[in-house]
């Protein structure tokens, strides 16, 4: 067991105890520091799916495989399953995955869990793990909430399947103006999420406009949402939603 798994298991044993006491109404995200309370958006304390996921609803499909990266006890994955997607949850903590499986069973949802340390992985190697457990499904969504993995972000344009959506929301260094945690090593620099995933020049995505397509060849991405700011007045996050054009586009 890796040191990361040990840290997260210790944290999620506390979540599991609270989960039992509250009949499954608490939640957390493995994208935070181990000593940061979990919650709806990974840095808050409200139960439920990440708030960013709710901001992204209009961009998400209702069919196919949804892959949630470092999703902890499954707040995001279970919400995606409720939309009709086959949800695959990856996390380093077997304790978190057990919580997610229990919640899925209680809600009558199918949830596929994969215990994996994603640090240092590319998106391609990560999706290979998913295909080994769900070989027949078409991956249509990859979500990444409050989990900073630069090696993975840098390979999204190359490895995202055609037609699939990549949706991410990660706190930035501006968050330190109001919150001591997560610490800087878990936070994005200004504009970094777009630069890591898409490229150096963020396009302006206007309301009602055709999504701009950035990149060339098989690395092209449609930019559906690109925004940084204080969300709900609480946490400073970078939001990014991109879609790889389908092979027939």
Q: How many Å separate Cα 151 from the centre of its chain?
A: 15
Domain of residue 149 covers 3-243
**Residue 81: inside a domain, yes or no?**
yes
pTM, entire model: 0.85
- What tokens does 37 get? 């309370």
Q: Which long-range contacts (CB under 8 A, 24 or more apart) does 106-112 make?
A: 106/24, 107/78, 107/82, 109/78, 109/81, 109/82, 110/81, 110/86, 111/74, 111/77, 111/78, 111/81, 111/87, 112/86, 112/87, 112/88
Mean pLDDT within 224-239: 89
The model's pLDDT over 168-215, given as tens digits with 9 standing for 90+, comes to 999 999 999 999 989 999 999 999 999 999 987 655 555 445 667 777
The model's pLDDT over 40-98, given as tens digits with 9 standing for 90+, comes to 334 333 346 888 899 999 999 999 999 999 999 999 999 999 999 999 999 999 999 99
CB 71 within 8 A of CB 100: yes
**Residue 143: inside a domain, yes or no?**
yes
- What tokens does 17 get? 């105890």
**Residue 248: inside a domain, yes or no?**
no
**Residue 124: inside a domain, yes or no?**
yes
**Residue 35: inside a domain, yes or no?**
yes
How many domains, in total, are found in the chain?
1
**Residue 126: inside a domain, yes or no?**
yes
CATH value at residue 121: 3.40.50.150
**Residue 187: inside a domain, yes or no?**
yes
**Residue 249: inside a domain, yes or no?**
no
* CA gap 147, 144 in Å, rounded: 6
Q: How many Å separate Cα 223 from the centre of its chain?
A: 17
């Amino acid at each position: 067991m890796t040191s990361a798994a040990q840290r997260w298991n210790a944290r999620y044993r506390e979540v599991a105890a609270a989960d039992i006491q509250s009949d499954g109404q608490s939640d957390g995200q493995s994208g935070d520091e181990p000593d940061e309370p979990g919650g709806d958006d990974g840095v808050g304390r409200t139960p439920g799916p990440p708030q960013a996921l709710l901001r992204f609803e209009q961009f998400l499909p209702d069919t196919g495989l949804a892959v949630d990266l470092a999703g902890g006890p499954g707040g995001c994955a279970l919400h995606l399953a409720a939309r009709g997607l086959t949800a695959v949850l990856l996390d380093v903590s077997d304790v978190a995955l057990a919580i997610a499986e229990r919640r899925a069973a209680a809600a009558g949802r199918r949830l596929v869990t994969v215990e994996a340390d994603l640090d240092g992985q590319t998106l391609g190697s990560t999706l290979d793990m998913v295909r080994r457990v769900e070989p027949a499904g078409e991956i249509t969504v990859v979500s990444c909430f409050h989990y900073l993995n630069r090696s993975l972000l840098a390979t999204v344009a190359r490895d995202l399947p055609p037609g699939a959506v990549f949706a991410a929301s990660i706190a930035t260094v501006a968050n330190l103006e109001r919150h001591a945690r997560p610490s800087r090593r878990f936070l994005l620099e200004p504009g970094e999420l777009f630069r890591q995933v898409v490229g150096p020049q963020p396009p302006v995505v206007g309301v009602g406009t055709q999504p701009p397509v950035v990149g060339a060849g098989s690395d092209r991405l449609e930019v559906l949402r690109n925004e940084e700011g204080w969300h709900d007045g609480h946490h400073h996050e970078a939001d990014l939603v991109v879609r790889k054009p389908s092979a027939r586009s």
